A and B are shown apart, each in its own frame.
Chain A
Amino acid sequence: MYSMDSMEEKELLQNITQQEYKEGFVTDVEQVYIPKGLNEDIIRMISSLKEEPEWLLEFRLDAFRKWQAMEQPRWGHLDLPEIDYQDIIYYAAPKKDSERPKEIDPALAETFEKLGIPLHEREALAGVVAVDAVFDSVSVKTTFRKALSEKGIIFCSFSEAVREHPDLVRKHLATVVPAGDNYFAALNSAVFSDGSFCYIPKGVKCPMELSSYFRINAAGTGQFERTLIVADEGSQLSYMEGCTAPMRDENQLHAAVVEIIVEKDADVKYSTVQNWYPGDAQGRGGILNLVTKRGLCRGTGSHLSWTQVETGSAITWKYPSTILMGDYSSSEFYSVALTNNRQQADTGTKMVHIGRGTRSRIVSKGISAGRSQNSYRGLVRFNPGAVGARNYSQCDSLLIGSECGAHTFPVIQSRCPSAVVEHEATTSKISEDQLFYCTQRGIPPEDAVGLIVGGYAREVLARLPMEFAMEAGKLLQVSLEGSIG
């Protein structure tokens, strides 16, 4: 049987772990900051900077008071550093040119160009994607708004939505993730800056992919974006989210909230490729990604699908969940989480079955390399009324190298005798047979590992929209390089 000697192994490991994070640059642009710290005055300041109505300020203050009474959760399988919430700048925005207030700063345009996010409304090779680009605390540009509004679709930054569609925002805000839902959701509700808002009217099929791109640039800040998606009866939407940040020695906090409301017979697909800066090989720096994402399948026959590829962040704490309230509603969760070096991930999903005949499916693939820790944590719950509900969960973990860890913590609760749930999980390392097969045919071990991991993650990657799938595939290769052991 083929087996690498330890020297060879070490060398390979080094090559892979030394891969560069190519999105790690900083954009030199003049920025407006508010002072460090967190208190009611800061919240009032954020609110007034954004010229918000009174009700929203009240919402923020209420959330802040709830947050103050809460404690940071410690149940995650994570070695979370102490976060000094008074040492963070909660609002940073690129300065607007007073002479040309309508135009985007060329430096910003260039940044997004470099990241491969087209801010010009031109047709990309793979299709048309409308983008809402968020830079630190503000949305700098939303493309294709006009084309979308002809169909009645509202796609804009959250701040604009508050100004232009206050009733819609007020009606749906915090209906899925209440302000006091958890520690980080409460923090976000208090200080959230910008994010995307999307409304698809009755019976409309969104003609293009919508996407949000989040970029952290300023040092010493955190990003607290809020996304609200409402899909009205019979509508259809595919939404994508991407993110990157510069390389820094300090940890930066990212605490987002995403709320999705899916009405009768509507269909929403939400895809994420998370590529925040993961910190260096020694575990210095990186983004603390502590987010709350939740969808509500409110109407009969509604459908929500989550697909996520997690390769970045020093720490990921994230559980995109679905509440299956409408009868015969369904949801899926497909996830690939890859951790390398000293990254830590505690991620998974929650499927709460309330309505009759609701169905859900969970496919989670964890890959841990280097000295990372990768956990799947999930909940599947059937309430007494979930007659005939069904869930199938599968969680696989792949270990590369002897110093990493892979963990599975599912919780399954049933109070409905006619519901059926199945859960299975496996953990193994890359099979030596597969590796031998490849190397024997002249494929270098490193490429062979990439190939095997690609095949392992395929089931999930195949669910991503095309332009994302390609990016995600490449990302997996890059993140893995040098991790064979």
Chain B
Amino acid sequence: MKEKIIDKGHYVDVPVPEGAVVVPAGSRLAVCYTLAGRHAFVLEAGASLDLCLLAFPGECDGLELSVDLVGEGAEASLSGICVCSEGEFPLKVTVRHRVGGCVSTQLFNGIVAGSARTGFDGRIVVAPDAQKTKAFQTNHNLLLGDAARAETRPQLEIYADDVECSHGATIGRLDESAQFYMQSRGIPEKEAKVLQMISFLSPVLEHVPEDRREEIAARIEQTVRSL
């Protein structure tokens, strides 16, 4: 049973989630891992969070992430790679700018293959008076396979005026002209597809901490090949 939505059309000051991981003022937290379940982060003044999520087939079945920016000058960079070949993978990301002068960026790229269903539910809420907020969100999806399904809901809720916010979302297929280019130069079809999928996911790779980048790049290649 879906919970009933009652939207009153104005700002609701939802309390900060209990049990959230607090990133103290001025400190930095960088994490990169496979998460599942519910996670919450609270960023104090000047704190920064660099979070990179990885979801490979069969490893997790959905995630709910919330990030609250409660101190001025906090910065959150959220990114994620999601490769699914079966089952459902709902990803819910809520970023709340409770005070002004914070920056948040999001980049989530997903490949949906086989019979998988993914749902990206991303929400940015900018509270009244949270001026000078910058919030950006991007979600790209590649849909491979006739039984696959992708859904994306990038949402912006903005109650302050001096802000810069944007979101972008796409659902599409492998670019045919790029495929043709590679094939006409002797790269086999399968290999061309793998290359393009890797290049599709690689912008997220830049957010992975350097010491783990190689390991994860290898993981991505292995996963993409198995699709």
Q: Residues of A with Cβ closer than 8 Å to B? A: 74-80, 344, 346, 373, 382, 384, 397, 399-429, 485
Taking a contact as CB atoms closer than 8 A, the residue among B128, B146, B154, B159 that contacts A423 in the complex is B154
Given the known interface contacts A76-B9, A344-B9, the answer about A407 and B153 at a Cβ–Cβ threshold of 8 Å is no
A416 proximity list for chain B (CB < 8 A): 143, 146
- Residue B150 at the A interface, CB < 8 A? yes
Q: List 5 A-B contacts (CB under 8 A).
A: A407-B156, A417-B143, A422-B170, A425-B168, A428-B164
A76-B9, A402-B131, A405-B10 known; A410 and B153 CB under 8 Å?
Answer: yes
Asked, given contacts A79-B9, A373-B9, A402-B129, whether A420 binds B154 with beta carbons under 8 Å apart, the answer is no
- On whether the beta carbons of A77 and B7 are closer than 8 Å, the reply is yes
* Nearest B-chain residue to A409, judged by Cβ: B155
Whether B170 contacts A404 by the Cβ 8 Å rule is: no
Q: Which residues of chain A are near B150, meaning CB under 8 Å?
A: 413-414
Query: Is B161 in contact with A411, judged by CB distance below 8 angstroms?
Result: no
Given A373-B10, A414-B150, A423-B170, the answer on whether A75 and B156 have CB atoms closer than 8 Å is no
Cα–Cα distance between A410 and B157 once the two chains are bound (Å): 12
Asked if residues A417 and B129 are in contact (CB atoms below 8 Å), the reply is: no
Q: A78-B9, A420-B171, A428-B164 are in contact. Are A405 and B158 (CB under 8 A)?
A: yes
Select which of B144, B159, B171 is within 8 A of A412 by beta carbon.
Answer: B171
Which residues, 153 to 184 on B, are CB-close (under 8 Å) to A?
Answer: 153-173
Q: A399-B161, A420-B170, A423-B168 are in contact. List 10 more A-B contacts (CB 8 A).
A: A405-B159, A408-B156, A409-B155, A412-B152, A412-B153, A417-B144, A419-B172, A422-B172, A423-B169, A428-B164
Known contacts A402-B129, A409-B153, A412-B152; A421 and B171 CB within 8 A of each other: yes
The 7 closest A-B pairs by CB, nearest first: A399-B161, A79-B9, A420-B172, A78-B9, A427-B165, A414-B171, A424-B168
In the complex, the answer to whether A405 meets B157 with C-beta atoms within 8 Å is yes
Give every chain B residue within 8 A of A413 (Cβ-Cβ).
Answer: 149-151
Q: Assess the B161–A412 pair: CB atoms within 8 A.
A: no
Q: Is the CB of B158 within 8 A of A399?
A: yes
Smallest distance from the beta carbon of A246 to chain B beta carbons, Å? 25
* Chain B min CB distance to A51 (Å): 42
User: What are the residues of chain B within 8 A of A346 when measuring CB–CB?
Assistant: 9
Find chain B residues with CB under 8 A from A401 CB.
161
Task: Give the CA-CA distance A421 to B143 in the complex, in Å.
Answer: 11
Contact call A74/B5, Cβ cutoff below 8 A: yes
The distance in angstroms between the C-alpha atoms of A409 and B171, with both chains bound, is 17
Residues of B within 8 A of A425 (CB): 154, 156, 166-168
* Distance to closest chain B CB from A131 (angstroms): 35
